[in-house]
Amino acid sequence: MTPRLSVVVPFYNVAEYIAECLESLRRQTFDDFEVILVDDGSLDATAQIAEDYCRIDPRFQLVAQDNQGLGPARNTGVRHSEGEYITFVDSDDLVPRHAFEVMVHSLDETGSSFAAAGARRFDDYGSWGSWLHGKIFAANRPATHVVEYYQLAIDRMVWNKVFRRSFWDEFGYEFPAIRYEDYPVTLKAYLDAVTVDIVAQPNYYWRERTSGDSITQQRAEFTNLCDRIRSADMVLNLVEELPAYLRDTVHMHLAQVDMVTLVDAFGELPEEDCARLARIAQRFAERIDKGPAARSSYLGRVQHNALRTGDIELLRAVAEIRRDGALNAVRAERSQVPWRRHELVPPNLGGQSRALFRLPGRAPYAASTTVTDLDWATDSGGATELIVRGTAEIRHLQIDGTSKLRMVLEANGVEVPLPVERFPAYDSHGDRNLVGYAVRVPHSMLAGIPARNEPATLRATITQGHVKRTTVLRNVGPGNPSMPPGAWINGGSWLQPLPAPDNRLLLRHIADPARLTSAAVRNGVIVLEGMLPPESGELSLTRTWACDKLADCEIVPGDTEDRFVARVPVSDLAQTDDPDDPVTGRTVWRLEAGGHPVLATGLTRAVTQVVGGRLVQVSRAADNCVVVTDGPVRPVAGEIGPADGVHLITVSGQSWAPLDFPLVWRRLGDGSGADDVTCSVGAVPGGFADSGGRWTALAEAESLIAGSPRHPHTSAAIWQLVALPPDARPYAVQPDAFLTADASITVGVRDRQLTLRPHADRVTVEVR
C-alpha cells in the first residue's frame, strides 16, 4: 500500500547523531509514512546504524550511492519515494513527535501546495528558539502566499516543510550539486505554489554541533564559500523580475547573511585563496542592488563597495573590524568637507577608504534602547507603580551630561510624559556613559491604560547636541524582562508587562481576568483553584498541537465571579514517551479559559512534585499564563547570587535525587569544555525525597573572570551552569520561572562586571 508521506533522510558520516534522528521519526504519531535513507558514501558506522533501523521497522529502506553531496542524495531519495506527500530531514536533526500529524492535517484541510512550520535550535545542553523562524512563523497563516506575506522569501531551509508530491513533480524540483542547495529550491517553491500553509508550531529541531563540523559551521572554507555564491546566484535569478518589495527583501537578506560571510572570510583565508575569492565574490556583489546592501547594516555600503571593487586590503580591514567589534567603539564625527557629512571611521583606516565611511545627510544615528529590569513599588500614598530600567542612547554618539531623555507612556494614541531618572551604564560601545534610565509609571497612568485594547508602549526621545531621536522601548533583555511580573492595579484589574515578538516592551491591562488562586499536587492529582469572570468559556489545557478540556472541573457559581476547582490526574499528562520537546524531554500545557490565558496571579513559586518518575510542575509562562510542565527529574535552580562578599557565585535549588555528578560553569561556544569551572556541590542534610531536597553549587568568581577573554569592543563572555550526569547527555540546569521573574544581579569584582541571571531556560553569568 502506498504510504501517504515519504521522508527522505540523506546521511554521510553522522554515526554520532543518526540514531537519535531516526528514533524521532519512528515515534511519530502520524505513522503512515516511509523513510528513504540515502547513504551518500559514508565511511563510518552510519550505514550500519541505518541498516539496523531497516531491520526493526519495515517503513525504513536504505539506498546507497557514491558520495555526491547532500543535494544529489536528496534527489536520489525523491526518486525512490512513493508518498502522496514528501518531506526532508537532515540526519543530525530531530522531528517532534506530532510534527507530521500537524503538517499533513493542515494540507488535507486546505489543499495547499505545501506546509511550512517553525523550528528550534538545539545543542548538547538544551533547545532555544530559532530567531529567523520565530520571526517568520510567529502565527498560523493557512493558505497564504509569498506575494501577500513577503517574509517567506527569506525562509531558506527545506527541512521544515511537507510538500504535496503532485506539486513537487509538476515543477520538477531538483537540488543542485552544491552546498546551500536549499534556498534556490525553497524560494522557487514559494513562488510556484498556489497557496502555502504557515504553521507556527515548531515542527523541526535544528542541531548546532558543538564540534563545529557541520556545513553551515564551516563557513570560511574556500569551496564552501564558492557554493554559497553559486546558491545566491540561483536565488538572484529567481527574483530578477519580481516586484520591487520582494526583490529588495531577498537582496537585503543576501547582503545581511551571505555578503557578511564572504567579507568575514577575508580575515581567515590564506592570501592565495583571498585573491580567488575576491574574483568570484566581485561578480556576486555586482548583482546585489546598492540600496538594500547599504541599508543592511552600518557596514553594508562599505562591504558592498569592497566586494564590488575587489579591494582585498579593504576587505581584510573590514573583516578585522567585524571580528574585533572595532566599529562599536567608533563615535560619529562631522567631516569638514563636504559639509554636513558624517563619518564612522574605524581606527587605523585612512586613505581613500575613509570616504566610504562617510555617511550622507543627517541620519547616520539611530536610537537604541534596552530593557534590563522591571519591578513593582508602592508610592507614598500606598498605590502600586511600575519601575522600568534599561539603557537609551543614540548609537555612535557620546551621551553626556548635556543630553536629554524624555519618556512617555503611549496608549490608544495618547502620550503622557513620565518621570525618569538617569545614571551611568554600559552603552552599546562597551563604555560607561549616561545611558542608564529608570522610568516610573504611576498607578494613575497604569489604571488609565484601556483594557481589552492594544497594549501600551513606552517611548523614549533622546537628544544629544543637534541630534534628536525617538524610539519605543525594545530589546527586552534576558532574565526578569523576558518573564516580567505583573500586579493588581485596581480591585479587579491586572497590569501585565510582556515582551512582544518584535522585542518591544508591552503593557497590557486585563480587566477581571480568569486567574489561578492556588495549586497543589496531591496523591498523583494536580488541583487547580481559581476565579472565572462571567462568560469566560470552558477551561482547557492546551499543548502546542492540541487542546484538552478539563473533564473533572467543579464550577461554584458566585455573585460576580465563579470559583473553579479543577483536578487533573498526573497520569493523564505524563509524557514519558511523548514529549513535545525531543531535546529536553519536556511537555508544556497552558491553562486557558475560552481560549484566553488563565493568569498565575496566585502563585509566588512553582508547585513541583515527582510522580511516577516524572517531574510535574505548575508554574507560569512569559505572559504570566499558568503552565503545567511534565519532564524528566532534574535539579531546578531557585536562587542565584554572590557569596563571601563577591568572591563566590552560588546557585541553589531543589533536586529529587542525589547530585552524584558534577555541575560546571561552561562558557557558551566552548564545545570541548576545556575551560570548565567546576562547582563545589553540597546538599542540605536529610536526603532527597519526592518533596525535593536542597542543593547548593559554589564557584569562585575569579575562575570565571580568568576564563573570560577581554576585549574592549566584544560582547560579554556568557557562562552557563551545566550538569554532567555519567550515563546521559549533559544538560543546562533550568531556572525556576519565578527566579527568572526576579531582577538580575550585577556585581563588580575588581575592574570586571558580573551579571547573574537566567537566560533562555539556562542559568547564566555574563562577564564584562
Provide the percentage of residues in the chain whose pLDDT is more than 70: 89
Who's near 106: CB < 8 A, 6+ residues apart? 112, 115, 142, 197, 199
Which sign does the torsion angle of CA 444, 445, 450, 453 carry?
negative
> What pLDDT was estimated at residue 355?
60
> What pLDDT was estimated at residue 219?
57
- Between these two residues, 732 and 534, which has the higher pLDDT value? 732
pLDDT value at 262 more than 90: yes
Write out pLDDT tens, residues 40-67.
999 999 999 999 999 999 999 999 999 9
3-state secondary structure of 321: helix
Write out pLDDT tens, residues 476-525.
988 889 899 999 998 789 999 999 888 899 999 998 899 999 999 888 88
Who's near 697: CB < 8 A, 6+ residues apart? 650, 651, 652, 663, 679, 680, 681, 721
* Confidence band, pLDDT 50/70/90 cuts, at residue 217: very low
pLDDT value at 353 more than 60: no
> What pLDDT was estimated at residue 519?
94
Provide the percentage of residues in the chain whose pLDDT is more than 90: 52
pLDDT value at 689 more than 50: no
The candidate with the shortest Cα–Cα distance to 67, out of 51, 44, 94, is 44
The candidate with the shortest Cα–Cα distance to 105, out of 193, 201, 220, is 201
Q: How does the average pLDDT of the chain come out, rounded?
A: 87
Same fold, 367-509 and 515-631: yes
The answer to whether 196 and 113 have CB atoms below 8 angstroms apart is: yes
Per-domain residue ranges for the chain? 5-207, 219-359, 367-509, 515-631, 636-767
Write out pLDDT tens, residues 568-585.
888 777 666 678 888 888
The answer to whether 263 and 319 have CB atoms below 8 angstroms apart is: yes
pLDDT value at 352 more than 70: no
Pairing of strands 342-343, 333-334: antiparallel
- Between these two residues, 282 and 124, which has the higher pLDDT value? 282
CA distance 564 to 400: 56
pLDDT value at 617 more than 80: yes
Go through 24-55 and write b for each residue having 16 or more CB atoms within 10 A of its CB, e for each that does not. bbeebebebbbbbbbbbebeeebbebbeebee
CA distance 368 to 373: 16
CA distance 652 to 618: 20
CATH code linked to domain 367-509:
2.60.40
CB-side exposure of 714: number of CA atoms within 13 Å?
A: 13
Write out pLDDT tens, residues 418-468.
999 999 998 887 788 999 999 999 999 998 898 877 899 999 999 998 889
With 0-12 CB in 10 A as exposed, 13-18 as middle and 19+ as buried, what is 604? exposed
504 secondary structure, DSSP code: B
Lowest mean pLDDT among 147-156, 548-557, 590-599, 697-706: 548-557
CATH of 5-207, one of 3.40.50.980, 2.40.50.140, 3.90.550.10, 3.40.630.30: 3.90.550.10
The answer to whether 518 and 505 have CB atoms below 8 angstroms apart is: no
E-strand spans in 174-300?
A: 196-207
Residue 548 CA, distance from chain mean position: 27
CATH topology of domain 515-631: Immunoglobulin-like (2.60.40)
